[in-house]
Structure 1
């Protein structure tokens, strides 16, 4: 008597049931995802996958939060908030690449999840799935246009820092000179200086938020190195034996936005006898800070930099310093840049031009809001060595059908000033709101305390939210009795705060020397409510200019009654009702160019307004 193999019986059973075993997409170590569809937020949209050079969608069958979480992490976000079925973000085009995707939630990529296989689906595009990710990016996240930020042997280069060596460098903020260290798997590793060039330093400085590099006195640092190596108790000597030099033989062109784009070699594996950096030492880099990040020599607050004045480029609508929609000045008129051909190289030229480092993200599709006026440039193709955007080859924005929906934007690397560690919120219902508590020096000691709400307004709240990294200010709150502050931090340590709204920290705003708060402490401490997006109402000034005219109108035909006190005092001496007034008439148009709906707190019944009700100055 014969018997069939167990594998054959299993296959026969599956065929009889009309099912195929769950499969995984073929190896996709470089699988690419994107979120598209209506809306300007980068963290949500229809999920699409690139396969065989063509973008396709994912069916919503079996799709749930764990699958969305894997997709969001792969896209560089911390986690998923939810997912959307039935083509909420619009039906896609082309193939439906994946169906019945099933993840455990711990995978790092969708290619590690099960599915029906590539292109095997019974869905239509009315079932295209969408995802909504948390807006917070993963630490060390870089755009996939940085070659996925993968370094040697596919290892992710997470962060770079300068560890100060000299005592004078340790006291500076930001740190502009020190030994280069790269973070890998939670540990900081040193970089060997053999073959190190100024081009390498330029790339490192750009990652740290600095526009350029400076020469280093290598002979002096070599003496410091040798003296420490001769000390048997030196921690440095023990580190060299532990193979802490993870990267060596770095070769950058100087135009790269990240060291992951450079040719590098990793140290030999543990246990090998060959030292990682024979005859060398740790790499020392010196960077030049942009004008905004140098020690203040004048009044606090930001005035238009020389780059903005001379180079005719600016960033608008960004919540944080170093981010915004790119605008250039041509023919005495500000206009935008179309995102056709926009990439990290061109974005880095803009960032360095404005005194920041290289670009962290090159943003597309008006993700930081739309503008009015002309679109000056399109197909900008920088090589990375240009000093200004005007040196890069480009086309006129009107030549290839660009709309303001295609306005390009950028997020630049900026130096770590340590400001975010000097402010916090307490007592709020969410991390985006609460009592503002700041750390300042009181009698030579750093102390946490509250901010007096006298003169506290939206400008001050904007600076607080920016310092916290929480975006825009939604409300400036002067009465916070319903929020419990941190125990021991209830005393007012800052008062009379007056900000222009462009400062990076409350500590940069004008304020009282000795603290003086007329309301005292407690319920009148300053508070804020922050939001990651906000409306931006802009009047069409060109329309006002084109439609303005003067009209003489008899007093008897004015809609504004004299009793309302809305006319100038000269109206008191008019010969009623035979006099007349000369009025400036014009049409107006207001656009919301922000990233959130404009929902006024005041009801629509209060929106009756006319020029007569303008308060007199």
Structure 2
């Protein structure tokens, strides 16, 4: 079931959390197991003690909008706190849960099997203009400097898979005031509210942050390889290998901006997973931009277990060109279906570490610039990145806007990873093993 958070694309939200006597423990700050602070102790709440009017107050107290669903039976885990067993009797218009009257339950032997949980603010789409909720007011996020690292945080917070694109005008200008100025995310934050921000004058007059998230993801491998999961009715589902073919793979790799499909793997090659199974046959032509645009055959379903989850290997969105192995060369990045080079100005070992990790090429050995591996062609993506060196992909590093930084191909960045050097001793050993003895 889809959780709803502080941020939205068209209809989601962002939280500036006040001091509160209530909290939600789960995947986000706006959905989870309810805990209340009582006598300096956090306590879980029995589901028999809580109703929709109480939920109205909790969501209002957390600045999370309206409640969508109240869930019992420890839907967000049992927890290990003490249990609050008094019945809460909110009128629904209180500003804090502790302002609501309480009374002892007739049956107060509630266990952790019956903790209460909340999902707030409804479903959301995974593409559009980013809007945030702050102190009861909806507004947009400044689109100047908005990049894929920022988009990655939004997609993660909304449980919408990987970021495909970071935009500022594709869906038209925002119609609400700008509440969050220029975001500075590293790409690893769990929520947008945890990113830094700066305010520059006259920078956000006609630019609203926008994102396109994938609604598909590859799990258990890398950014561009793994067990396929698709988002359906706000639930991530694994796909039966009998329901998926090469044309479907073309669409998934395109949607993830991961190049062409290399291999479709069945029999749970990337693990079984624990999601529900998608068993309808997917009938992509191969030219669709998203898997959800492909027709399905609901009348032809496969009886499928997790033993037959489909896996996919795409070509990837990064390569090294012009070196003597796949782990050394000019850095090239796939963006919107186009290969381009990376500007070498300020390209450093932290950036190189991300490149080597993404390509499974070991540790960075050296950074070479000024087109050491030859000048590339096509677009030049800016560096000016905020890589810490721990990111899983170069696209998740912060940067100035793609394609906007002045650079030419004489400054193309190159990287040498340790995966390249490891081959040299091996070749030397094999050579010595095959040398004939002197005099033979």
Name the TM-score, length of structure 1 as normaliser: 0.25
Larger C-alpha radius of gyration, 1 or 2?
A: 1
Considering fraction of residues, name the structure with more helix.
Answer: 1
* Larger fraction in strand: 2
Answer 1 or 2: higher relative contact order, Cα 8 Å, separation at least 6.
2
